Structure 1
Amino acid sequence: MDVILIAGFWLDGSSWSAQVPALEAAGHRVHTPTLPGLAPGDSTDVGLPDQIDAIVELIDRIDGPVVLAGHSGGGNVAWGAADARPDRVAHVVFVDSFPPPAGHLINDELPVVDGVIPFPSDRSAYFDDAEFADFTDEMLAEFEANAIPEPARVAPDPLILEDERRHAIPVTVLATAFPKEQIEQLIEAGHPMTTELDALAELTIIGLPTSHWPQLTKPEQTAQVLVEAANRAAGTDD
């Protein structure tokens, strides 16, 4: 099974380096693209549709079905690509994210500097402390030092969804900083953000209390969730 791992804001494809070996050991082919606007030399004049198109183009170059995994804002990219190619996507894993409804914006409140969104220097203004659970001081310093500014148009671009066949794709949500119980409560209450979750034919929610970046703070456990989803999609989960 081909597995495409899509990083969230401020990260490139290397952010999945701790998960790749486990997926490959399970027999899967792993792709860790760096989204447009984040690779060295890229123009930052790109929006969310450009990033979705890049994943769709990657899907089109692969023979057979794929599993998509999207972390944080990468979840919007994954779901947009699944909507564009519902017949090619066998499973979608949302890593501290969940399927966003049509028109959803990733975040239109992050500060823009010279056409990009750098990782905020004042973390407390934009993040809860829980989102940095399990980070050591050294890990956090490295994260901030390596954070890649995000193209400014990606954050406020509304997600366009057009093909309801996406609801037939099995979905796994890995809930970390946003707790599993809170997602279930929102679903029960019929919150507008859960309309896509409500429409899914198959949904699995896995709780893993840690930071918003579990691929960094709980790498083995995150890898296991990805392996299990890929195995299920490949029919080798026995």
Structure 2
Amino acid sequence: MTHRNTAPTLILVAGHWLGSWAWADVILNLPTERVRALPLTLPGLDPTDPDRATRDLDDQAAAILDHISGAGGSAESPVFIAAHSGANAPVTLVLDRAPELVAGVVWVDSGPIGHDSAFAPDLPAEVAELPLPPVEELTQQASLDGLSAEALDRFRARAVPQPGPAVRQRARLTNPARRAVPATFVCCSISGDQIRELAAAGHPMFAEVAELKHPTFVDLPTGHWPMWSRPRELAAAIEQTVRGKSH
């Protein structure tokens, strides 16, 4: 007799310059009998795609929805999503377009974006892509705490430039139901208390957090890439969230 795997499904979406490979150490620490982990490489971040520099946020959101469908996700059997860093834009679009398909979101050093926002709205149209910046510049953008030289070398070797259309595109959000999807913030380079304070103060980067119906916060002090600096602890935080909200 074949037994159906009833473990909740988790779609993992990494941030800028990254593909599904970025979650490897986290997935190793997620017990398959308790969480069915399915990482995704967003359109524009597959180095074998000859048209990757033309991909936009709509393409990326559609790919996540296709991934959910292919995993058997539905309104009757919604999935969980773990969204790291710049994956927040396409994941927010998914929540806006099909909130019934998502049982909960784990924002990994990230959070939802607001209507009409874009990562780089003023990027000139002639700029086709944004490559991973030099480490000195990257350090000014995000914390590298906890990353080994080996991890940084791997990041540099495997990073794929962000497609220009995806970072220029403004998000059009129309469905307030997205804010009712349970949200857990795994707070790494900034604490949960800081996020709550910034949200309450109306900081534009965190204003959407104040609108959420069911937010929870988990502190995991480390840098902006916890899937490499603290993969075991990140996996535990994700599993606890997914298992806790799936019962």
Structure-1-length-normalised TM-score: 0.90
Contact kept, 8 Å, 1:66 with 1:90, in 2: the verdict is yes
Contact kept, 8 Å, 2:104 with 2:245, in 1: the verdict is yes
Show the counterpart of 1:16: 23
SS in 1 for 2:80: strand
Show the counterpart of 2:175: 163
- Structure 1: 5+ residue runs without aligned partners? none
- The aligned runs of 1:32-71 (5 Å cut-off) are 32-42=39-49, 43-44=51-52, 45-61=54-70, 62-63=72-73, 64-71=77-84
Contact kept, 8 Å, 1:186 with 1:194, in 2: the verdict is yes
AA aligned opposite 2:136: S
Find out whether 1:98 has 2:111 as its counterpart: yes
Show the counterpart of 1:5: 12
Q: Give the superposition deviation at 1:23.
A: 2.9
Moved more, 210-219 or 73-82: 73-82
Which whole-Å CA distance do the structure 2 matches of 1:104 and 1:127 have between them?
24
Show the counterpart of 2:203: 191
Q: Give the superposition deviation at 1:109.
A: 7.2
Q: Give the superposition deviation at 1:112.
A: 9.4
Which whole-Å CA distance do the structure 1 matches of 2:128 and 2:9 have between them?
34
SS in 1 for 2:29: helix
SS in 2 for 1:92: strand
Would the alpha carbon gap of residues 160 and 114 (structure 1) be closer, same or farther in structure 2, given more than 3 Å must change? closer
Find out whether 1:234 has 2:246 as its counterpart: yes
Deviation sequence 1:40-72 (CA, Å, 0-9, x none): 321121111110111012223324210011100
Contact kept, 8 Å, 1:119 with 1:149, in 2: the verdict is yes
Q: Give the superposition deviation at 1:221.
A: 1.0
Q: Between Structure 1 and Structure 2, how many residues are aligned?
A: 234
Show the counterpart of 1:117: 130
Identity of aligned residues (%): 32
Match for residue 138 of structure 1 among 150, 167, 173: 150
Show the counterpart of 1:203: 215
- Structure 2: 5+ residue runs without aligned partners? 1-7
Contact kept, 8 Å, 2:200 with 2:210, in 1: the verdict is no
Which whole-Å CA distance do the structure 1 matches of 2:123 and 2:231 have between them?
27
AA aligned opposite 2:119: I
Which whole-Å CA distance do the structure 2 matches of 1:109 and 1:178 have between them?
26
Structure-2-length-normalised TM-score: 0.87
Q: Give the superposition deviation at 1:119.
A: 0.4
Would the alpha carbon gap of residues 109 and 222 (structure 1) be closer, same or farther in structure 2, given more than 3 Å must change? farther
What is the alpha-carbon root mean square deviation over aligned residues?
A: 2.2
Deviation sequence 1:86-143 (CA, Å, 0-9, x none): 111100011111111111212457899962211012x333543861011122321221
Which whole-Å CA distance do the structure 1 matches of 2:103 and 2:177 have between them?
12
Would the alpha carbon gap of residues 119 and 182 (structure 1) be closer, same or farther in structure 2, given more than 3 Å must change? same
Show the counterpart of 2:87: 74
